[in-house]
Structure 1
Amino acid sequence: MWSIGELAEHAGVSVKTVRFYSDRGLLPEAARSSGGHRRYGPGAVDRLRLIRSLRTLDLPVVEVGRVLDEDDVLEDVVAGQLREIGSQLAALRWREAALQLLQGCTPQERADRLRLIGAVPLPPDTTVLARFWRRWLPPRLPAPLVSAVVDQAIPQPPADPTPAQVLSIARLFSFVSGVCVAATHCQPEAHRSNKGYRPAVLYEGLSEAYALASPELRARRPGREGEALDCFVSAYARSHGARDTTGFRRRLAGVLADDPRIDRYWQLVAELAGPSQPTAGAAHDWLLDALDVQTGRAGRAPSTSKETWST
């Protein structure tokens, strides 16, 4: 049996350290002397060295206790610590990029950027973006379809952002937190609940049409007739119980030209994702251009002029 001082000497630590771990139940004493002093068995040295190793890795005392008292938990504890460190590193990268964004700004720019950055958790939590989309989408969509649309529409924040990406996502958060300032209804015609149509049919078809248009966007081809446009128009026709005719396409082009838009949202998402990943908004604009060409409405004003949300 060793005294607390002898154990500390053999393990190369201070008496205070031994007492600390003993008091927290990590290093149980084997007995007490007649004078009430702690006594430790020969296995205490190895246990104390293991505790020190685990604490060197910055494992919390509670987790160290789990490793000591339970078999086969070290792997789980290490995996949990790696996840936590990954989150901390991501937060540090976002903070670094945000600080770089503030370097070299004019005083006016710095004040605006500080306001934007201050409203965004770092790294960003996309809950506010999901809330925006659930508000923007038409009512009565099935929950699985809403989830699919929201997942497609929300960009994943990069793990190692550039200062420009920090600014884009801060502006994106500011945009979705704004209010609609249009004099008329803020949502597209097809979203209005009194129109008597099937929104699920529309959004399922739009998703397919956007996927068909994406290769055209990557190839930088202008909007044109083809399978993507046919699928796009068919989604609107079927959702309204109408036939896809020349007259329907003309009327649809007119309605869509007057619809409220959220192009600023898609512009900022594109800045985050890069040109190799066309957004649903870019696909929608490409299909509108194709429809305008086909119906003789070519020369439509840029969609960004129809912005209806304040930032």
Structure 2
Amino acid sequence: MHTIGELARRTGLTVKAVRFYADTGLVPATGRNAAGHRVYDAVAAARLDLVRTLRDLGLDLPSIRRVLNRETSMADTITAHADALEVHIRTLKVRQAVLRTAAKRGAGPEEVDLMNKLATLTEDQRRRLIVEFLDSAFDGVNGEFDGIARTLTPELPDDPTPDQVEAWVELAEISRDEEFRGIMRRLLEQHASGRADVVRPDLAAVVHRHVALDVDPRSPEAARVVAAIEEATGLDADRLATWLADVGDPRRERYLRLLAVINGWQRPDSLAPTFDWLARALAG
């Protein structure tokens, strides 16, 4: 038989904690000794060990009581607790990402509040935000672009990394930018052909195939490259320059890079050098 003091030393708990578990009925005394002190047998000691272990794992007292009283199985209880911990861990990761992002930006109170709201949106709320952005970008565009829309849609996983959460917050902010929405809409309009069932090849890809970065953009050879680009894209120099102002906007490339982080895709190559070369070549 063990006294409360002996159980405390054996388990590493305080005498107060052992007495509390006894008083609440979680670990009732086996009996009393000649001095009238409560004593506990090996079964009670094992019960106390189980209580301590479950408390160390974070289970609440009512859950522990149900396990001890065999009202629910150990497996069901710890599974439910593990699931709850998973949700809590995800929440903590989101909070951590928001705090790190805020610190990195030197954000003020209003920006921190916005970042937190964007980071803690539900899956349905995130989907609605992106659908609204894509609807705005595709508004009035002649053509069917389901494939393009899918390539522009972020899918934050159920258990995102801090980098993915940080990328989502920034991407959500960019998608709310009305000027950026206008840029995307103009690029999609340019991408569409005169017929609703025909889509031109991606202009950025066409330009990238023709541009030679090792050629001086002010040279006669560069002029020939520009002429080849005009022929391949069907755009004259003025329209190329207009298109270039939109496609070369750094927010577009940033969106695509953030999208790759969120979706776990390979990081896209930067076309900024290509666009910069073409801009200098067009300027003459």
- TM-score interval (norm. to shorter): 0.3 to 0.5
TM-score (norm 2): 0.47
- Structure (1/2) with the larger helix percentage: 2
TM-score (norm 1): 0.43
Larger-gyration structure (1/2): 2
